[in-house]
Structure 1
Amino acid sequence: MTSAPPVSAAYDDLAKRGVLTPDPAQRQAAQHLDAVLQALAAEQPKGLFSKFFDKPEPVRGLYLHGEVGRGKTMLMDLFFAAVPIRGKRRVHFHEFMDEMHAGMAAFRQSDKGRDSDPVEAVVKPIIRSGLRLLCLDEFHVHDITNAMLLYRLFDKLFAQGVTLVATSNVVPDELYKDGLNRQLFLPFIELLKQHCVVASLAAERDYRRMKFAGQQVYAFGTGPEVRAEMDRLWLRITGGEQGMPGTVTSIGREIAVPQMAMGAARFGFADLCEKPLGSRDFVRIAHQFDSVVIDDVPQMDRTRSDAAKRFILLIDNLYDRGVKLGASFAVPLEQLGKDDRTAFEFQRTISRLDEMRSEDYLGKGLRDAPAAS
């Protein structure tokens, strides 16, 4: 009896352990991802001289689209973990495009930037890094600067043998819909469909919404009972997975994540607000996880001014992105901010915290908040 290919096997294992409810549409998507994985794994290194003369042919990738909460990110997690090649990268679409724009701007300001192609300049280091697989989460085009860049950028990446796997909430033909000068963007849609299989994830349920249905996401007080309440919420969010330590890469450094599983992360307040983290770090966290649990949020008086400022930034970024928040607080929300130096900003934070536990907020999908520049 032959074993299931890696993504399907990992999916079946999660279903068997009760972490997720089996869904035929999700399993079909896993099979599409397995096809890409197996094609990448089957590529054999070519001869010493062929790399200088042969034009590389990329493995055809996958563009997986579907409504929010259908499991696209979870499947991308399984796929990326299983791909057996070193030259792979996964990044949120807007973060990747911000990097490209920043690289082109820096090149234009350099001496070489006067007569050379800035797109070529940002593609070259990507290719030199050995990248073969680029995974982009939440492919969504609403910015004309991205729309006008995408064809030139991906035409060069595909020509150099890079395979694209992307998730999106919209079909390719609706990308940049009603955008300014959209006719100039249409060639990119054709290029995308040429180099990627387009597949729909038509799962019937919004699994992300189901995780939070009827849940009290905040606990108040301290001690083992409160911790146990947060443990129960964490296991509800992750489908029973305890999770493992991990990291978030931000500005060239690693932010430790004590527990992460199934698109969720769990931190202590001190992990986020008593360390030298800033808004760009919190944006990275908000783009990497759809749910965040924070333990042991204390009352913030004048002795915790810096921590209070970071907490304000953290909640702003989670809220703007629509990330689902579970948290334990030492005191009721209205008593959290006791520092007159942050009192005004804290009022907005309390208002947002109150909204973030509402059924309306918990029932909505992630928002297309911009990435950090």
Structure 2
Amino acid sequence: MSSSTAAGRSPIAAEAAPLSLCARQPHVPADRLVAEMVPPPRFDSVRFGTYIPDPNQPSQTEAVRVLEGFTTGLGAAPDTGRRGFFGFGRARAPKAPAGPRGVYLDGGYGVGKTHLLASLWHATPAEPALKAFGTFVELTNLVGALGFQQTVQTLSGHRLLCIDEFELDDPGDTVLVSTLLGKLVDAGVALAATSNTLPGKLGEGRFAAADFLREIQGLSAHFRALRIDGEDYRHRGLPEAPPPYSDEQVTRTAHATEGASLDGFPQLLDHLARVHPSRYGALTDGVKAVCLTDVRPVPDQSTALRLVVLADRLYDREVPVLASGLPFDQLFGEEMLKGGYRKKYFRAISRLTALARDAQRLVERQ
């Protein structure tokens, strides 16, 4: 490949040496984890007004209405007394029922749940330092970096905690998050979350959820669930994703694109096992495009789940992905797509396909 690539390079392309994700071992200090608990670049400018509900899906319009109402009162100082609807809007109302103090957006992948969650964060009338936004993985990683008590102390003064991609993958996470959110609710923190799974069914198909039913029920009690129906907007009315390119095309484009990385897909999967998922965002720092050769089916579930996290971080950062080998809809085997993590895998396929479409422009420049 090297000789044919060298022969095909232009003088400008020859000066650009691609980056390599496999050569990176990022270190992420705890203060960076806290500082980065804001909506990612893709969702930095979204608002309720930029969300376009599908006219055939009234639940999408209803979700916007409820979330806009949810922001009312979120700018007020935390109050640990009994509260009104969602825990907000009526301070010190002893006779009001202690209902859920959060909203939970449930729906399939690609219906705009993260868009709405980020819009809620932006609409909340509080300083950025008083509201936090992160994925479920990032939240559990924060606890690992700071320790449980320090995480409670850090987040207790917030008006709002937004948790994207809420999933319980093991019993340890179940107990940890149940305890954490309970303490934050007691401190007056509002909660908002997105997931592909209803709160009462978290963990189903992944572990013996029945053994942790109390914790799971405790989690669901914090939220009012809002179902959002619809099809994947990332592919609504758009052309099919481009077919994979040749190794030579991917390599040539990587050399010709400033800030592009170039790695073999099997080697990247091996490398992800040596980097904690909390560092996958840092792994892509400064990367303008990811170029992968020899894409093939993911060999096992642990590797597949790591790839899902990387796909999410690339999508958040709007990093196009150019690849050779198999198309992304063949990454996960039939057994995986029927198992407990199937919704995660479908989300990853959807997001990687969107990023592959974005990468077309890189090839067209050649």
Q: Please, what TM-score do these two structures have when normalized by structure 2?
A: 0.53
The alignment status of 1:35 with 2:69, answered yes or no, reads yes
Where does residue 75 of structure 1 map in the other structure?
Answer: 116
**1:89 shift after superposition:** 0.4
**1:198 shift after superposition:** 0.9
Alignment of structure 1 residues 168-187 onto 2, 5 Å: 168-177=195-204, 182-183=209-210, 185-187=212-214
In structure 2, relative to structure 1, the CA distance for the partners of 1:100 and 1:56 (3 Å cut) is farther
Contact 1:55 1:160 in 2 (8 A): no
* Helix, strand or coil at the partner of 1:161: coil
In structure 2, relative to structure 1, the CA distance for the partners of 1:149 and 1:174 (3 Å cut) is same
**1:84 shift after superposition:** 1.6
In structure 2, relative to structure 1, the CA distance for the partners of 1:103 and 1:14 (3 Å cut) is closer
Alignment of structure 1 residues 62-141 onto 2, 5 Å: 62-86=103-127, 87-104=130-147, 119-127=148-156, 130-141=157-168
Aligned partner letter, 2:347: G
Query: C-alpha separation between the residues in 2 aligned to 1:359 and 1:283?
Result: 22
Where does residue 270 of structure 1 map in the other structure?
Answer: 259
Query: C-alpha separation between the residues in 2 aligned to 1:319 and 1:126?
Result: 27
In structure 2, relative to structure 1, the CA distance for the partners of 1:218 and 1:180 (3 Å cut) is closer
Query: C-alpha separation between the residues in 2 aligned to 1:25 and 1:171?
Result: 15
Where does residue 346 of structure 2 map in the other structure?
Answer: 364
Where does residue 241 of structure 2 map in the other structure?
Answer: 215
In structure 2, relative to structure 1, the CA distance for the partners of 1:284 and 1:168 (3 Å cut) is same
Aligned partner letter, 2:212: F
Query: C-alpha separation between the residues in 2 aligned to 1:98 and 1:216?
Result: 35
Query: C-alpha separation between the residues in 1 aligned to 2:229 and 2:107?
Result: 6
Query: C-alpha separation between the residues in 1 aligned to 2:223 and 2:118?
Result: 19
Where does residue 177 of structure 2 map in the other structure?
Answer: 150
Aligned partner letter, 1:149: L
Query: C-alpha separation between the residues in 1 aligned to 2:113 and 2:283?
Result: 17
In structure 2, relative to structure 1, the CA distance for the partners of 1:76 and 1:125 (3 Å cut) is closer
In structure 2, relative to structure 1, the CA distance for the partners of 1:326 and 1:13 (3 Å cut) is closer
Aligned partner letter, 1:100: V
Aligned partner letter, 1:63: Y
Q: List runs of 5+ in structure 1 lacking aligned partners.
A: 1-8, 105-118, 227-267, 300-315, 334-352, 368-373
Where does residue 284 of structure 1 map in the other structure?
Answer: 281
* Helix, strand or coil at the partner of 1:195: coil
In structure 2, relative to structure 1, the CA distance for the partners of 1:320 and 1:165 (3 Å cut) is closer
Aligned partner letter, 1:24: P
**1:358 shift after superposition:** 4.6
**1:66 shift after superposition:** 0.8
Query: C-alpha separation between the residues in 2 aligned to 1:202 and 1:92?
Result: 21
Aligned partner letter, 1:294: A
Query: C-alpha separation between the residues in 1 aligned to 2:154 and 2:258?
Result: 38
Query: C-alpha separation between the residues in 2 aligned to 1:320 and 1:26?
Result: 26
Aligned partner letter, 1:122: T
Which among 206, 229, 234 is matched to residue 202 of structure 1?
A: 229
Contact 1:90 1:134 in 2 (8 A): yes
The alignment status of 1:354 with 2:336, answered yes or no, reads no
Where does residue 360 of structure 2 map in the other structure?
Answer: none
* Helix, strand or coil at the partner of 1:153: helix
RMSD in angstroms over aligned alpha carbons? 4.4
Aligned partner letter, 1:207: Y
Alignment of structure 1 residues 217-232 onto 2, 5 Å: none
* Helix, strand or coil at the partner of 1:131: coil
Query: C-alpha separation between the residues in 2 aligned to 1:360 and 1:72?
Result: 25
More strand per residue: 1
* Helix, strand or coil at the partner of 2:119: helix
Query: C-alpha separation between the residues in 2 aligned to 1:120 and 1:66?
Result: 32
**1:169 shift after superposition:** 0.5
In structure 2, relative to structure 1, the CA distance for the partners of 1:186 and 1:359 (3 Å cut) is closer
Where does residue 24 of structure 1 map in the other structure?
Answer: 58
Contact 2:54 2:60 in 1 (8 A): no
* Helix, strand or coil at the partner of 2:108: coil
What is the percentage of aligned positions where both structures have the same residue?
23
Q: Which has the higher contact order (CA 8 A, sep 6+)?
A: 2
Q: How many residues align?
A: 241
In structure 2, relative to structure 1, the CA distance for the partners of 1:211 and 1:94 (3 Å cut) is farther
The alignment status of 1:294 with 2:320, answered yes or no, reads no
In structure 2, relative to structure 1, the CA distance for the partners of 1:218 and 1:82 (3 Å cut) is farther
**1:186 shift after superposition:** 2.3
Contact 1:63 1:198 in 2 (8 A): yes
Aligned partner letter, 2:280: V
**1:148 shift after superposition:** 2.1
**1:269 shift after superposition:** 4.5
Q: Please, what TM-score do these two structures have when normalized by structure 1?
A: 0.52
Aligned partner letter, 2:153: K
Contact 1:176 1:182 in 2 (8 A): yes
